[in-house]
Structure 1
Amino acid sequence: MAVPLVLMLLVAMFTGSDAMYCVCKSDANPVAMQKAIDYACGKGADCTQITSSGPCFQPSSVVAHCSYACNSYYQKNAGMGATCDFMGVATLTGADPSAGSCKYPASAR
C-alpha cells in the first residue's frame, strides 16, 4: 500500500506545468495594487493588454489589472534580478491566470 502512495506523490511532484506567474493577492490593499500597476507600467510592462481595448481589460478590476501588469514586468525583468513582491502585493504561483483571449506570459521555474 505504501509503495503506490509514494509513486503517486512522486508523479504529482514532477508533472504539470513548469511555468511561474507573478499575480497580485486578492486581499491586498487596492491603493497598493494601483501603485504596483503604475510602477510596472511605468517601468516597461506591456500594459496595452489591460487598456479598455485590450484582451485583458475584462475583468475590469484592480486585482486583475495588477496581476497582468506585475506579471508582465516580472517576466521581462526576472533575469535581471527582479522579484515578484511589489511591496507585498504580489506573489509567485504555478497556476496559469490566463482566461479566454487574455494570455499571461510565463517563465520556467
Structure 2
Amino acid sequence: MDQDMMLTLHDRASLGEVLSDLEMEQLEAWYAETDAQECLNFGITSQEQESVAALRSRLQIQIDTVLSQIMTSLEQIKAITAENNNLRQEVSSLQAMIAINSA
C-alpha cells in the first residue's frame, strides 16, 4: 500500500469525509498492518493485541451509545426550540390583541 495515499485517506476520514467502500477497506487494512507493525516494534504479544482489540471494541460500543444519546438529546432540543418559537409568536399575537383592545 502506498503510504502517502493511505495518509491522505486517513486525513480525509479524520475530517469526516465520506470514503467509498473500497477506500474504507484499504484504510482498515492499512490500520491493521500499521498496528501489527507497531506491536512488533514494541514487543507486544498476540494475546496483548487481542486484549487491546477487545478493549477497542468495547470502547467503540460505548462511544456509539453516547453518540446515540447525544443525537436523541439534539432532536429533543430541536423540538423544544420549535415549540418555544411557536409560543413566542403566540405571546406576541396575544400582546398585540391586548394592545388593540386597550386602545
TM-score between the two structures when normalised by the length of structure 2: 0.23
Identify the structure with the greater strand proportion: 1
TM-score between the two structures when normalised by the length of structure 1: 0.22
Q: Which has the larger radius of gyration?
A: 2
